[in-house]
């Protein structure tokens, strides 16, 4: 197809476009007219519906406004709430505050509403209940789902229903209070009861039932059991008839026992109610308190301390006899309850108060105790020389208690004590012995200069009051023996079971020797003294060393004598044997001079042998080797045997021997040979100290259970300074006589007699002779001694 020309194409196209536009415009106009009419009809319908909705809304608003209520709705779980109505009845201004449950509802109800609201919004659970707001009105709360919405209505209960609910709530409170009160009264330990208008019991608690010995309160009411006695019941009935309370304290029998009760019965709208309180214990306490007060008064009357009690009005309410005696006041004046000021003025007028220039100020200071919170004390120096210690103590109920103590005697004693203490102090300071006193706490309380000088301690020990540990530390350098210091610390600090004296000797490093003595004092302190005994110890040591040297010399001498005696005995025996052989002329005849010489040899050898035998006997006694052979010995025969060997000496000395044996002497249990040795030595000793022509007496007798053998001579006697030594070995005293000896005879006598369980008595004086008595137990040596 051939293309059209450009001009032709443009004109045709334009015509077509214009025709299309006309058709479109006509069609559009027709459609618009039709739609406009339809929308106008729809608009009219919507206007009618809107008017109807507005009318409905106005009717709903009028309905809501006709009653106090609030409606809250939610269009969805998380949608904002829509409020309708006024929440003023909830006590919370603004409808939105209706959901603030805690602002108008009690806590428990607020929590309950919150949980119900959440359940309604989340799960569509309806609820409804009535509660009381904090402001007082009852509120109906109803929640339910409506057309997909959650709706809650809060409505105030009004009218008769509100009054009924208020009355019901009040009834519940009254019932609860009544139940609580009934429970309380039923459980009280005091008897409680109620009566009706005519005075009969209507209720009683368990305590009442126990008091009247009933099984229970109902039994007591049923039986009409009364608690009070007849007189009290009549008085109570009279008070009930007059409509007044009845109160009294009266005795009553409670559970079979007599008690004192406080009775209170009050009128009530329904009758009467009463309660009984047991006052027996209170009465007992009151009586006991009264007895104690009376006892205190009697005690205060016996006190030397003057006591005066003034009340809040400064009037005297009590004073003891000491107060009257101290101030010499009349009983009539004190019984008139004078004031504090009147008593002071009277004492001042009688010159019994301290003489001061400003009496008014002094008096005001004394009476300031009435307004003071604490006690005070003062010292009054009276014109008569007395010193009064005054203690003023305010009373809790007002007033003041004065205590007046005459301390004049105490001050005098204290002055004397101080003087005595100073004297003792000076005495201690002048002592050469070191003195230290430690208290019960172990601290140094007192010491003298000699103590510090003895231990070379510088400074004031008594002022520093050091502990015993510190004192020991200062003294240890001179005496580093811890065991002694530990013992002293134990004595001072009282660690021991019993406080005892303690003593020891301290030999210090510097050569000083101290005697330490610790003695407990009555007040718990301990006195320690240190005495310097260096000089006496040195003398004692010298004497001890000298004594030891003398004992050593004595032992050496005895050992030498014993040894020599044993060595001499054998050759001496040979000499005696050969001399006797020569004297018997068995080997040839002797001339007269030879026989005389031989006799002298035999006698001298015999004497020497006797001395040696005595020495050997002493040695045996010293060694405990001398054994006695006890047997029944005839005393008279033994004396005759002993004197027979001394017959020649008696004749040569021209002495007379007189023997007197008492008949009751009887036999003696002893070693016969040793008894003869005792008698031989005693008689030989008497011969040696007797002068020619004198008499030697030998007597024997029994005294009690002892046999007494006495050898008496008429010689020169023994001086007092020699009597203590005559029985010692190798002590020989001639006392102006011709007697010579080695001093063993009497020593052997004493040793042999003591081996027999007896003793030797010596009675002698210069110019009166000598009596030596050997006392032997007649039954021999006691078994216990023999066993030893």
Specify whether the CB–CB gap between 630 and 782 falls below 8 A: no
Asked if the model's pLDDT at residue 219 lies above 80, the reply is yes
pLDDT of 331-390, one tens digit each? 888 888 899 888 888 888 888 888 887 888 888 888 888 888 888 888 888 888 888 899
pLDDT of 102-143, one tens digit each? 778 888 888 888 888 888 888 888 888 887 887 778 888 888
Asked if the model's pLDDT at residue 423 lies above 60, the reply is yes
What is the four-CA torsion angle of 418, 420, 424, 430, rounded to 10 degrees?
100
User: Where do we find the tokens 């010596």?
Assistant: 762
Q: How far is CA 781 from CA 1, 428, 673, 754, 757, in A?
A: 196, 58, 16, 9, 5
Strand partners, 156: 139
User: pLDDT band at residue 783, thresholds of 50, 70 and 90?
Assistant: very low
- Name the range with the highest mean pLDDT among 59-63, 208-212, 556-560: 208-212
* Dist CA 73 CA 86 (whole Å): 14
User: pLDDT band at residue 430, thresholds of 50, 70 and 90?
Assistant: confident
pLDDT of 468-520, one tens digit each? 888 888 888 888 888 888 888 888 886 555 677 888 888 888 888 888 888 88
Asked if the model's pLDDT at residue 239 lies above 70, the reply is yes
* Dist CA 777 CA 630 (whole Å): 12
**What is the pLDDT, as a whole number, of residue 56?**
62
User: pLDDT band at residue 462, thresholds of 50, 70 and 90?
Assistant: low
**What is the pLDDT, as a whole number, of residue 1?**
43
User: pLDDT band at residue 787, thresholds of 50, 70 and 90?
Assistant: very low
C-beta neighbour count of 214 within 10 angstroms = 18
Nearest Cα neighbor of 727 from 700, 704, 749, 694 is 749
- Chain-centroid distance of CA 534 in Å reads 46
**What is the pLDDT, as a whole number, of residue 33?**
84
Residues 6+ apart with CB under 8 A from 93: 87
Range from 69-78, 514-523, 561-570, 687-696 carrying the lowest mean pLDDT: 561-570
Per-residue pLDDT averaged across 6-28, rounded? Answer: 75
Say which residue, 154 or 310, is predicted with more confidence.
310
Asked if the model's pLDDT at residue 2 lies above 70, the reply is no
* Dist CA 243 CA 204 (whole Å): 21
Asked if the model's pLDDT at residue 51 lies above 80, the reply is no
**What is the pLDDT, as a whole number, of residue 564?**
61
**What is the pLDDT, as a whole number, of residue 461?**
67
Residues 6+ apart with CB under 8 A from 173: none
Residues 6+ apart with CB under 8 A from 112: 129, 131
User: pLDDT band at residue 710, thresholds of 50, 70 and 90?
Assistant: very high
Residues 6+ apart with CB under 8 A from 456: 478
Extract the tokens encoding 770. Answer: 């000598």
Pairing of strands 695-703, 656-661: parallel
Average pLDDT, the chain: 79
- Chain-centroid distance of CA 537 in Å reads 47
User: pLDDT band at residue 169, thresholds of 50, 70 and 90?
Assistant: confident
Range from 197-201, 452-456, 556-560 carrying the lowest mean pLDDT: 556-560
Nearest Cα neighbor of 309 from 216, 403, 244 is 403
Nearest Cα neighbor of 382 from 413, 364, 409, 408 is 408
Q: How far is CA 501 from CA 277, 516, 517, 523, in A?
A: 68, 11, 7, 15
Asked if the model's pLDDT at residue 689 lies above 50, the reply is yes
Nearest Cα neighbor of 95 from 154, 165, 50, 141 is 154
pLDDT of 5-16, one tens digit each? 545 446 677 888
Specify whether the CB–CB gap between 717 and 767 falls below 8 A: yes
C-beta neighbour count of 189 within 10 angstroms = 11
Per-residue pLDDT averaged across 321-326, rounded? Answer: 83
Asked if the model's pLDDT at residue 603 lies above 80, the reply is no
Q: How far is CA 772 from CA 616, 617, 729, 733, in A?
A: 24, 21, 17, 16
Residues 6+ apart with CB under 8 A from 406: 304, 306, 326, 386, 387, 388, 389
* Dist CA 333 CA 331 (whole Å): 5
Strand partners, 229: none
Asked if the model's pLDDT at residue 784 lies above 50, the reply is no
Q: Is the dihedral of CA 325, 329, 334, 340 positive or negative?
A: negative
* Dist CA 530 CA 528 (whole Å): 7
C-beta neighbour count of 495 within 10 angstroms = 9
Can you tell me whether residue 245 is helix, strand or coil? coil
Extract the tokens encoding 343. Answer: 């008593």
Q: How far apart are the first and last CA of the chain?
A: 186
Asked if the model's pLDDT at residue 65 lies above 60, the reply is no
Strand partners, 710: 699, 773
C-beta neighbour count of 369 within 10 angstroms = 24
Range from 159-173, 250-264, 720-734 carrying the lowest mean pLDDT: 720-734
User: pLDDT band at residue 591, thresholds of 50, 70 and 90?
Assistant: confident
* Dist CA 695 CA 715 (whole Å): 9
pLDDT of 722-765, one tens digit each? 777 777 665 555 554 554 444 566 777 888 888 888 888 888 88
Provide, for the chain, the percentages of residues in helix, strand and coil under a 3-state DSSP scheme, each rounded to the nearest 5: 50, 25, 30
Backbone dihedral region for residue 588 (phi beyond 0: left; psi -120 to 50: alpha; all else: beta) = left
Per-residue pLDDT averaged across 251-262, rounded? Answer: 79
Number of residues in the chain = 788
Burial class (CB in 10 A: 0-12, 13-18, 19+), 480: exposed
pLDDT of 174-203, one tens digit each? 777 777 877 777 777 888 888 888 888 888
Extract the tokens encoding 187. Answer: 């459980």
Q: What are the two backbone dihedrals, phi and then psi, of residue 94, each rounded to the nearest 5 degrees?
A: 95, 130
Per-residue pLDDT averaged across 384-412, rounded? Answer: 86
**What is the pLDDT, as a whole number, of residue 741?**
47
User: Where do we find the tokens 């006690």?
Assistant: 375
Per-residue pLDDT averaged across 654-672, rounded? Answer: 85
The DSSP output letter for 467 is B
In the chain, what's the furthest Cα-to-Cα distance? 238
The DSSP output letter for 68 is S
Nearest Cα neighbor of 398 from 458, 309, 503 is 309
Q: How far is CA 34 from CA 29, 37, 38, 418, in A?
A: 9, 5, 6, 144
């Amino acid at each position: 197809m051939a293309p059209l020309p450009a001009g032709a194409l443009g004109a045709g196209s334009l015509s077509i476009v214009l025709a299309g536009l006309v058709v479109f415009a006509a069609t559009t106009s027709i459609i618009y007219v039709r739609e406009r009419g339809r929308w106008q009809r729809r608009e009219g319908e919507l206007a009618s519906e809107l008017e109807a909705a507005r009318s409905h809304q106005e009717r709903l608003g009028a309905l809501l406004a006709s009653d106090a209520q609030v409606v809250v709705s939610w269009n969805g779980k998380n949608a904002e709430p829509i409020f309708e109505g006024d929440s003023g009845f909830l006590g919370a201004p603004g409808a939105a505050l209706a959901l603030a449950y805690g602002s108008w509802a009690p806590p428990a109800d607020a929590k309950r509403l919150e949980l119900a609201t959440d359940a309604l919004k989340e799960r569509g659970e309806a609820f409804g209940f009535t509660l009381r707001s904090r402001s007082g009105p009852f509120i109906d709360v109803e929640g339910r789902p409506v057309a997909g919405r959650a709706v809650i209505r809060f409505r105030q209960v009004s009218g008769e229903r509100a009054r009924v609910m208020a009355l019901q709530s009040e009834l519940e409170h009254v019932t609860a209070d009544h139940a609580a009160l009934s429970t309380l009264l039923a459980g009280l330990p005091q008897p409680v009861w109620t009566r009706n208008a005519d005075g009969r019991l209507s209720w009683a608690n368990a305590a009442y039932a126990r008091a009247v010995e009933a099984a229970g309160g109902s039994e007591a009411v049923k039986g009409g059991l009364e608690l009070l006695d007849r007189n009290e019941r009549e008085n109570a009935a009279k008070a009930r008839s007059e409509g007044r309370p009845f109160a009294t304290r009266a005795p009553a029998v409670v559970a079979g026992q007599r008690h004192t009760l406080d009775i209170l019965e009050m009128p009530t709208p329904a009758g009467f109610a009463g309660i009984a309180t047991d006052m027996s214990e209170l009465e007992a306490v009151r009586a006991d308190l009264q007895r104690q007060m009376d006892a205190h008064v009697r005690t205060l009357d016996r006190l030397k301390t003057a006591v005066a009690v003034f009340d809040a009005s400064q009037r005297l309410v009590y004073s003891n006899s000491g107060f009257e005696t101290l101030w010499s006041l009349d009983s009539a004046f004190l019984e008139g309850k004078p004031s504090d000021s009147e008593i002071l003025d009277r004492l001042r007028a009688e010159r019994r108060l301290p003489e001061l220039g400003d009496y008014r100020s002094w008096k005001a200071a004394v009476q300031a105790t009435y307004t003071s919170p604490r006690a005070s004390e003062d010292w009054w120096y009276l014109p008569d020389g007395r010193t009064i210690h005054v203690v003023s103590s305010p009373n809790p109920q007002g007033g003041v208690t004065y205590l007046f103590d005459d301390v004049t005697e105490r001050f005098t004693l204290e002055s004397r004590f101080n003087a005595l203490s100073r004297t003792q102090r000076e005495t201690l300071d002048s002592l050469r012995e070191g003195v230290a006193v430690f208290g019960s706490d172990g601290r140094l309380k007192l010491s003298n200069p000699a103590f510090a000088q003895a231990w070379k301690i510088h400074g004031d020990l008594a002022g520093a009051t050091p502990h015993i540990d510190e004192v020991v530390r200062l003294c240890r350098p001179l005496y580093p023996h811890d065991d002694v210091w530990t013992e002293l610390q134990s004595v001072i600090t009282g660690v021991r079971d019993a406080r005892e004296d303690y003593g020891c000797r301290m030999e210090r490093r510097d050569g000083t020797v101290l005697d330490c003595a610790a003695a407990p004092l009555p007040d718990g302190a301990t006195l320690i003294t240190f005495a310097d005994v260096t000089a006496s110890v040195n003398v004692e040591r010298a004497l001890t060393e000298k004594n030891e040297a003398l004992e050593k010399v004595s032992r050496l001498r005895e050992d030498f004598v014993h040894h020599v005696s044993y060595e001499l005995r054998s050759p001496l025996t040979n000499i005696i044997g050969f001399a006797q052989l020569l004297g018997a002329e068995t080997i040839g005849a002797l001339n007269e001079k030879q026989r005389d010489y031989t006799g002298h040899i035999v006698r001298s050898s015999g004497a020497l042998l006797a001395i040696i035998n005595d020495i050997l006997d002493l040695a045996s006694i010293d060694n405990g080797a001398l054994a006695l052979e006890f047997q029944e010995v005839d005393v008279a025969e033994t004396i005759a045997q002993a004197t027979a060997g001394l017959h020649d000496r008696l004749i040569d000395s021209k002495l007379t021997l007189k023997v007197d044996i008492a008949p009751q002497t009887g036999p003696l249990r002893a070693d016969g040979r040793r008894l003869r040795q005792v008698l031989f030595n005693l008689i030989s000793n008497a011969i040696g100290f007797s002068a020619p022509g004198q008499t030697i007496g030998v007597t024997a007798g029994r005294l009690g259970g002892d046999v007494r053998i006495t050898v008496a001579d008429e010689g020169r006697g023994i001086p007092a300074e020699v009597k203590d030594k005559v029985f010692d070995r190798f002590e020989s005293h001639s006392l102006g006589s011709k007697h010579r000896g080695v001093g063993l005879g009497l020593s052997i006598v004493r040793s042999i007699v003591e081996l027999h369980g007896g003793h030797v008595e010596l009675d002698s004086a210069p110019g009166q002779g000598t009596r030596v008595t050997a006392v032997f137990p007649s039954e021999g040596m006691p078994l216990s001694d023999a066993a030893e």
